[in-house]
Amino acid sequence: MTTMTGHLTARGLMKSYWKGRNEVPVLRGVELEVEHGELLAVVGASGSGKSTLLHLLGLLDAPDAGEVLLEGARIDNRPPGDRDLLRNRTFGFIFQFYHLLPELTALENVLMPHLIGRSFWSYWRQRHPLRTEATALLERVGLGHRLTHLPAELSGGEMQRAAIARALAGRPAVLLADEPTGNLDAGSGQGILELLRDLNRERGLTMIVVTHDQNIARQADRVVQLAGGQIEEWSPALT
Ligand code: ADP
Ligand code: MG
């Protein structure tokens, strides 16, 4: 084994769900390492555990066994307050169905992480620079003309762009994306893909993108496959 330290590492991750008295194993010893600035795609059949893995890596859920390490230091067993901070400041999340708050404008959605991450007064004192930064993020993802639109007034691709801007608001080092183009037509999906690739390059963001979109997989730095609860080398589908 090499001793080089990756950015985010999974060691022997195990996770089961319980259906009544039956244990349904999903992850059976996942070994994975992503390097700083790498764009890693994780492919796998529906139900193979891709979302489960992403949730464990981003501390949205805890493994039954195994470890998650950030720059070589274990993080999955930190106290809840530390894990909240890591979720808010180190990780950014992008989901298939955007998870924008429907009553808030695009700009307010991007400001949300700042409202969650600090006291109201701390937010209030910093509201002007935070607003400027959130506006710049929306401009960066191509939504400068949609700041005050509600999610329902945006297209799917625009909602995902807003969700990407929100994910960047906490200045994450690692972006975790769960089927980010899964609900989009091919054209919008390609746009989202190019945006993620550009952000990865210009900000040195480490990215793990879960997908069964072959297009994403092809444009990643590296592709691994989740099958039988473990990470395997990827073999492109013969389609
Ligand atoms: P993927 O994202 O690759 O489609 P998931 O990680 O969502 O796979 O799910 C893996 C397996 O675990 C599936 O069989 C799914 O039904 C099951 N599963 C996921 N979440 C839960 C849960 N909260 N409770 C019970 N079973 C679950
Ligand atoms: Mg999934």
- 23 is a domain residue: no
Provide the residues around ligand 2 (an ion) whose CB is within 5 A: 50-51
Local confidence band at 218 (pLDDT 50, 70, 90 cut-offs)? confident
Q: Which amino acid is at 195?
A: L
Q: How many Å lie between the centroid of ligand 2 and the Cα of residue 238?
A: 22
pLDDT at 37 over 70: yes
pLDDT for 237: 59
Q: Which residue has the higher pLDDT, 218 or 224?
A: 224
Question: What is the tens place of the pLDDT at every residue in 91-137?
Answer: 999 999 999 999 999 999 999 988 886 788 988 999 999 999 999 99
What percent of the chain clears pLDDT 90, i.e. is strictly above it?
A: 84
- 16 is a domain residue: no
* Range of weakest confidence among 9-23, 63-77, 104-118: 104-118
Pocket test for ligand 1, best of 52, 56, 57 (most atoms within 8 A of CB): 52
- 120 is a domain residue: yes
- The alpha-carbon radius of gyration of the chain (Å, integer) is 18
Q: How many Å lie between the centroid of ligand 2 and the Cα of residue 100?
A: 18
The whole model's pTM is what?
0.93
Q: What are residue 23's DSSP bridge partners?
A: 18
Overall number of domains in the chain: 1
Q: How many Å lie between the centroid of ligand 2 and the Cα of residue 96?
A: 9
- 21 is a domain residue: no
Q: In this structure, which ligand is nearest to the CA of 60?
A: 1
- 178 is a domain residue: yes
- Residue in the structure block whose two tokens are 């609900």: 183
pLDDT for 32: 97
pLDDT for 233: 82
φ/ψ of residue 95, rounded to 5: -115, 160
Q: What is the 3-state secondary structure (H, E, C) of 146-205?
A: CCCCCHHHCCHHHHHHHHHHHHHHCCCCEEEEECCCCCCCHHHHHHHHHHHHHHHHHHCC
Contact between 176 and 94 under an 8 Å Cβ cutoff? The reply is yes
Please tell me the residue having the least CA distance from ligand 1 atom 23. Answer: 17
- CATH number of the structural domain spanning residue 121: 3.40.50.300
pLDDT at 22 over 60: yes
Q: In this structure, which ligand is nearest to the CA of 48?
A: 1
Question: What is the tens place of the pLDDT at every residue in 154-185?
Answer: 999 999 999 999 999 989 999 999 999 999 99
pLDDT at 238 over 50: no
Q: Which amino acid is at 96?
A: Q
Q: In this structure, which ligand is nearest to the CA of 97?
A: 2
- 56 is a domain residue: no
Q: How many Å lie between the centroid of ligand 2 and the Cα of residue 136?
A: 31
Q: How many Å lie between the centroid of ligand 1 and the Cα of residue 203?
A: 32
Kindly state if the Cβ of 211 falls inside 6 Å of ligand 1: no
Please tell me the residue having the least CA distance from ligand 1 atom 19. Answer: 52
- 20 is a domain residue: no
Local confidence band at 30 (pLDDT 50, 70, 90 cut-offs)? very high
Q: What is the 3-state secondary structure (H, E, C) of the chain?
A: CCCCCCCEEEEEEEEEEEECCEEEEEEEEEEEEECCCCEEEEECCCCCCHHHHHHHHCCCCCCCEEEEEECCEECCCCCHHHHHHHHHHHEEEECCCCCCCCCCCHHHHHHHHHHHHCCHHHHHHCHHHHHHHHHHHHHHCCCCCCCCCCHHHCCHHHHHHHHHHHHHHCCCCEEEEECCCCCCCHHHHHHHHHHHHHHHHHHCCEEEEECCCHHHHHHCCEEEEEECCEEEECCCCCC
- 183 is a domain residue: yes
Range of the domain at 100: 38-51+84-238
pLDDT at 3 over 90: no
